Amino acid sequence: MRKKLIAGNWKMNLDWNEAMTLFAELIQYEKSNDTHADIAVFPPSLYLRHFYELAQDRKSSISVGAQDCSAQVKGAYTGELAASMIHSVGAKYCLVGHSERREYHRESNDILSEKVERLLEADIIPVFCCGESLADRDSDNQTFVIDNQLDGTIFELSTEQFEKIVIAYEPVWAIGTGKTAHPEQAQDMHAFIRGLVHSKYGESVASNTRILYGGSMKPKNAKELLSQPDVDGGLIGGASLKRDDFSAIIKACSRS
């Protein structure tokens, strides 16, 4: 049985005081409610260690993750953060291949494969993002695009490595636009992705792989999206920056 994962990608938002306040409020929420999902927060990496320590001190089960890592192991790469460093400050997860990184930093399948390798070597769970653009969706190319994004990257992994991966399906046209995939569209794509995993790694791996949906998930649409059989959680941007919205999405995960 796949337990849902609700993950907040804070992107480049919130200064130190704002971030500390929100994280402390989320811990408070998690401690005082019976939640049925794993919860993770992906703040700017500067805050990771502090968040990790706060979660430990308060005996919270909220995990923390980074939004990106270097494709290199270590060395003269000014401004980069190695996967091993991210691990050493307590992160459990790291996003790879978010569409904003693919677009603004021209991250190719080759770079993303390197990043996934670095994360697995460092014992961090990669949350591998994939998703089609509006033009791809309009020309009905979404399955082709996703196939290509997975084929050149995580589908190169061994079964043992692949079992550690979380996939996030994030249609680019739904990110930050307020347009959400209809629950059936999300379900179709998640089922398609699980089918690809099945053909590549078999039934047991496919049924254990968590596939999150991301793209304007809000309290008002979360329940319907999260009740689709192949939607195993959410990767939430804007709504993760508001305590009430994020906690309402966590609450939308029923016991199953």
Contacting positions for ligand 13P (CB under 6 A): 9, 98, 170, 175-176, 214-217, 235-239
Q: Is 87 a catalytic residue?
A: no
Residue with Cβ nearer ligand 13P (175 or 231): 175
Q: How far is the CB of 237 from ligand 13P (least distance, A)?
A: 2
Contacts (Cβ under 8 Å, ≥6 apart) of 29: 243, 247, 250
Residue with Cβ nearer ligand 13P (201 or 215): 215
Gap between the Cα atoms of 157 and 117, Å rounded: 9
- Residue bearing tokens 């033009």: 135
Q: How far is the CB of 137 from ligand 13P (least distance, A)?
A: 15
Residue with Cβ nearer ligand 13P (176 or 202): 176
Tokens of 170: 């994030």
Residue with Cβ nearer ligand 13P (11 or 118): 11
Q: How far is the CB of 146 from ligand 13P (least distance, A)?
A: 16
Q: Is 170 a catalytic residue?
A: yes
Strands (E) located in the chain: 4-9, 37-42, 63-66, 93-96, 125-130, 166-169, 211-214, 233-236
Residue tagged active-site, from 87, 98, 107, 132? 98
Q: How far is the CB of 100 from ligand 13P (least distance, A)?
A: 7
Gap between the Cα atoms of 113 and 107, Å rounded: 10
CA distances from 170 to 19, 74, 129, 214 (A): 24, 30, 7, 5
**Residues 166-190: b if buried by 16+ CB within 10 A, e if exposed:** bbbbbbbbbbeeeebbebebbbbbb
Q: How far is the CB of 27 from ligand 13P (least distance, A)?
A: 21
The end-to-end CA distance of the chain, in Å, is 8
- Which residue has the CB atom at the shortest distance from ligand 13P? 237
Residue tagged active-site, from 30, 100, 114, 170? 170
Residue with Cβ nearer ligand 13P (120 or 130): 130
Active-site residue set: 98, 170
